[in-house]
Structure 1
């Protein structure tokens, strides 16, 4: 018999933390973290960075270690101004500790994701009790976007952790406090988020629903106490965190005045922040884009929304500020990023932990309802059918779409078979979990099923895809041709330098391609007998004769060739690259 729980009962049950159950709670708490470590760490150290974002950050971290300059990020000879340096510095520090780049480029994401998970559990436990905190953490641990990004060497898991830490500090002060220490720690975390991706101000938006709740006398708010003094300290902590980078940066730029330094400062402080939000130049999406993200990347917890919304409505009618503050903040963050034309799914990832927190008190009750159990099992079976269909089709009779996928990913037949077999096994695993655990244990079936899927992804599929897209084979061919001679890059991609163990010459990354080629020709003229240039084949014309170049293959979806000075047409000597078609090369994203 399934116990029916009304939303009034659920709301009342969520009003106060449950009494402690001693060692059982402690055991469940550490089992949660152990399961998270196994799930999120599966596959770490087994692959290299894969395009598009991972090689960029890894290359910057490599150059930090090689140059000793951790203050100004560099991508080749260019100053890298797209993002502040903290995340790349964490990757570099991870290498200093582990001595292995295949671990180091993923380690910050792993640790940040584990920290985020703990913060969600801890907040839920403090507000609504151990069971609510545990359910909130489990909801986060099985969310597609959270787990996928935790296994990537990208900046977003670290930003999400810092913003969640800032939220936790602010909420503990505003709801459980007053607590100066929690507030100051939260403000400091927000400052660190600013020098990670620039969005560290987002946690302070929680003051909007707090002001509303305080004005209307909602339940659960902490007394203000000496609010002015506490917030003064918080402001100091916020700017102190940013000053860890901005003050040394200002001193460095003051003693190294140059056009490059000024361009770096203008870009990172203004162009990549306010101007990018108001006048974006890529990643255009419609206003409703984040509804699509929630409906796909926030699965499976998003499937509980038909039951969560009535529960939230009841709790909000009871003026529960503990729910209002994080839930309203989630809505504000989604609206904030919806107002700009540039949208990416990871932009709203920092809102995901607070969404999971708000679902924690009610998930157990929802999973006792027959309709929710059918939805959970249906989700598992739908995922199983998709993976089984793709896997078996790839093994038996590949479709046109599968063949295009294999070609685009540069998969060898043996590698493709590993992917198709893995998908087939994962599909069978998901279906088996649904069949064995059935409706009564639908929540457990989802956790176990997705856990197996993500372990297979981390240990088998992701390493195979990384090997297929790796520049290792191209690097081997280049080394055989070039030998001990010097090598320069033109129109290069970030993953290319990561494959070499030698010192390379480049002429900028964002520099227009025809200017890079002109500089490369002048570089060749200085020592024509022992210098080579590796270039995208599409960039050579009209200056380089293809019949006098060496084909070294395809990687990163581009065709690459080697040439020396004797392949350069006479009219291009001296770096006199013709205009006309060459001028169109300035758009580095134009070629496929």
Structure 2
């Protein structure tokens, strides 16, 4: 009965964390609206080989992540839930794999279940796993590769070993088709040190070819198809999206080597106090517990790899949290058995974190706060209250833990719950109007939709328009941004209008039909009326402005 009750509780928590909020949070641009629109265009056009964005070639990523999102949209329709469900589905499968591997290593169901709970409630995992990007998909395939190799090491027959190595190759191949060559590099980097320590290098060399075969079998059909359709894809994808992004001095998102240290620490909340002991135990048990060392290798080696790369984003280290969750679960079970001090420390961390964030919201970010430019406007007291509730709830979970640390330490799993349920309603208008234009676009849809031409001044805003209007013919104005490569093709002529050319373009094209121009204004220049020809009508919300030009004879 207790097991059934706990099972229902976990399912209810999963629904509250990962399903209930999906539809009711507006899409963020540029990421969520970009991936929503790319998949919408693939489904609408029936072309599942070549990704397009505004009908332009978009070669920043391969195709498998889009396939998951395509299926989600086919099943759940044109909804925010569908946009995000592909990420949730992937992170859920990853949690199940974490459960499986933890159970295989320590043979304790409680530890395995706890590992999945820690994984799903870690701040970085939740933040990325309920957000429509491709990182949850690559985390799934890398975790599958981690499990497949462990399965190969435990195989009792040659046939089972061959199947496990092929499965490893399939996982790497799907990862390759999701985010590129790093899905082939990371497993090698993670497995090689462990194989050398465990004297399995000869086996690695002997059976490694099977993984290559498995990866080739699953990825070759699409790789060949896109090379035939778009001969420049592999040159662009390899050189620009890998070499330039990760290694060159002008890499995108350039950051220092230590960048991921604070990301890791914050990402481990609300389980942060378990981190030092988990790392220490993984190293100390390396001889008597090869599984602990294996997990540690899958955590540390990819983390070093991403730290050495010039280009960095917080989402890149999401795959590291699968082995980390297993290590932290083992450490938590050990501490609970001995009433370890770290469980009390974890309660204090959550209490202090919640109170500090509440103080930051009420004392600095609120309209009466000390910040020179508070994020919340004078009319947003309710949103300030919701933000305070989010972090006070986090602090309350820490306080409950402190009342009996050895028994109530699992209450940390509830700490981010208010954040999951309320964050969409607590976002300040100034951030919403710049990064979540969906509500404004929906409100103005009847005015925008009849326009013959629709323009936006950045790809993120354009993708929001394309998604809401269900049309891919949005034109880019002022800055091409991430679609500059797609605009370089001859068949993309006319898709971009420079600011200096807009007046002449408008005079000519409004004879064919009405024109709508949507802009997001910079904070330094919130008066754009003087920069564009006088419109017949204009509509504003915060930094967003829509100009409508009626058709002329």
The TM tier, using the shorter chain, reads 0.7 to 0.9
Structure 2 match to 1:131: 110
* 8 Å CA contact retained: 1:380, 1:434: yes
Select 1:311's aligned residue among 276, 281, 302: 281
Residue ranges of structure 1 left out of the alignment (5+ in a row): 1-22, 216-220, 254-260, 567-592
Aligned: 1:470 with 2:449? no
Structure 1 match to 2:334: 365
Task: Call closer, same or farther: CA 1:111–1:63 in 2, change over 3 Å.
Answer: same
* Structure 1 residue 394 displacement after superposition: 8.3
Q: Deviations over 1:348-368 (max 9, x none)?
A: 111110112223322212244
Q: Which structure: larger Rg?
A: 1
Structure 1 match to 2:24: 46
* 8 Å CA contact retained: 2:90, 2:136: yes
Q: What is the DSSP-based 3-state SS (H/G/I as helix, E as strand, rest coil) of the residue aligned with 2:86? A: helix
1:141-540 residue pairs with structure 2 within 5 A? 141-175=120-154, 179-198=161-180, 199-201=182-184, 202-215=186-199, 224=203, 228=206, 230-253=207-230, 262=232, 264-279=233-248, 280-316=250-286, 318=287, 320-367=289-336, 368-390=338-360, 392-393=362-363, 398-399=368-369, 401=371, 404-406=374-376, 413=379, 416-437=380-401, 438-440=403-405, 441-457=407-423, 460-461=425-426, 469-474=436-441, 476-477=443-444, 479-480=446-447, 484-492=450-458, 493=461, 494-501=463-470, 504-506=473-475, 509-510=483-484, 511=487, 515=498, 518=501, 521-522=504-505, 525=508, 528=511, 530-534=513-517, 536=519
Structure 2 match to 1:98: 76
Q: Hey, what's the Cα distance between the residues in 1 that align with 2:359 and 2:300?
A: 37
Task: Call closer, same or farther: CA 1:276–1:501 in 2, change over 3 Å.
Answer: closer
Q: Hey, what's the Cα distance between the residues in 1 that align with 2:268 and 2:297?
A: 18
Q: Hey, what's the Cα distance between the residues in 1 that align with 2:169 and 2:449?
A: 53
* 8 Å CA contact retained: 1:384, 1:428: yes
Structure 2 match to 1:570: none
Task: Call closer, same or farther: CA 1:366–1:521 in 2, change over 3 Å.
Answer: farther
Residue ranges of structure 2 left out of the alignment (5+ in a row): 489-495
Q: Hey, what's the Cα distance between the residues in 1 that align with 2:7 and 2:212?
A: 34
Q: TM-score of the superposition, structure 2-length normalised?
A: 0.82
Q: Hey, what's the Cα distance between the residues in 2 that align with 1:45 and 1:553?
A: 25
Per mean C-alpha deviation after superposition, the further-off stretch among 88-97 and 155-164 is 88-97
Task: Call closer, same or farther: CA 1:486–1:423 in 2, change over 3 Å.
Answer: same
Task: Call closer, same or farther: CA 1:349–1:532 in 2, change over 3 Å.
Answer: same
Task: Call closer, same or farther: CA 1:542–1:146 in 2, change over 3 Å.
Answer: closer
Task: Call closer, same or farther: CA 1:466–1:179 in 2, change over 3 Å.
Answer: farther
Task: Call closer, same or farther: CA 1:532–1:111 in 2, change over 3 Å.
Answer: same
Q: What is the DSSP-based 3-state SS (H/G/I as helix, E as strand, rest coil) of the residue aligned with 1:551? A: strand
Q: Hey, what's the Cα distance between the residues in 2 that align with 1:476 and 1:142?
A: 34
* 8 Å CA contact retained: 1:490, 1:517: no
Q: What is the DSSP-based 3-state SS (H/G/I as helix, E as strand, rest coil) of the residue aligned with 1:288? A: helix
* Structure 1 residue 387 displacement after superposition: 4.2
* 8 Å CA contact retained: 2:112, 2:326: yes
Q: Deviations over 1:527-568 (max 9, x none)?
A: 61523151548799999754456433256x4544344698xx
Q: TM-score of the superposition, structure 1-length normalised?
A: 0.77
Measured on the aligned residues, the alpha-carbon RMSD in Å equals: 3.7
Q: State how many pairs are aligned.
A: 520
Task: Call closer, same or farther: CA 1:475–1:388 in 2, change over 3 Å.
Answer: closer
